[in-house]
Amino acid sequence: MNETITVVIGDTNAEYAQAIRHGLEAHGYTVLRVAEDGITLIDAIKRMRPGLVIMDVILSRLDGFAVMEELHQLPSLEWPKILVHTALNQENIMLRIYSMGADYLSKPAPISQVVRRVDAMFAGNYRQGVESAIYQSMQNDELRQKVSVCLKRLGISPRLRGYQYLVEGILLVMRDISILDRCTSVLYPYLGKIFHSTPERVERCMRYSIETAFERGNLSDIEQVFGYTVDVSKGKPTNSQFMAMVADHLLLN
């Protein structure tokens, strides 16, 4: 790694937290503190200003959600990246984690997997969690502009309701590819919530916009983005396939 990234860990399981610590330190990260409760964790974050916080939702004195709410009171430039590493995997929990600007990793996991996820979070093309408030505004604007230009090239007009859903959906996929495994349970409900719509309407509008692109769009532009993975004469990609391929195209170019 080119520069040392500092980490604070919050977990009630001291043994597991220390295993994560040793795994990260073996790969060049500096772990500043392991906190076993939420109060100690938030104090460590404010004092030490780490680049990354790895924490469970289940913490004594102050739970993980309360910690994130407290962090949101800080100036945006002081926000660390957050990886919520928890055994809680209910859809409403995951949606809440994402909506608060954090990434999610189920627990337990091999330490090597935790390290790989952290490596990815600091890679230039990391696909981080849903509509992350931690993502700096300039980067967010640049990504949104890239997605918008790509969709217009493909023939999806901003006048279509599905256009905005696709912009936000692709941004989410660029930060966390695993969201595609939960389109129905997490992605569509999330977009419906922020756009005051329903999950069903989000899905239908995305579908219509994609079909419009493949029926009326520029074939050469479509082939440039989708290559040989989609035969436009035989069928159109699903919503998730479309978002995944656009995200990959933008990340690689």
Which H or E run includes 86? Answer: strand 81-86
Q: What is the pTM of this model?
A: 0.56
- What pLDDT shows up at residue 228? 52
Q: What is the CATH code for 6-121?
A: 3.40.50.2300
- What pLDDT shows up at residue 143? 79
Q: What is the CATH code for 137-252?
A: 1.10.10.10
Distance CA 22, CA 6 (A): 13
Residue spans per domain, the chain: 6-121, 137-252
Distance CA 210, CA 220 (A): 16
- What pLDDT shows up at residue 42? 94
Report in angstroms the alpha-carbon separations of 82 from 49, 100, 155, 194. 12, 10, 36, 21
Per CATH, 6-121 and 137-252 having the same topology is answered no
Torsions phi, psi of 209, nearest 5? -65, -40
Across the chain, mean pLDDT equals 83
Q: Which residues of the chain carry a pLDDT beneath 50?
A: 1-2, 125-139
Distance CA 117, CA 63 (A): 23
Over residues 49-65, the pLDDT tens digits come to 999 999 999 999 999 99
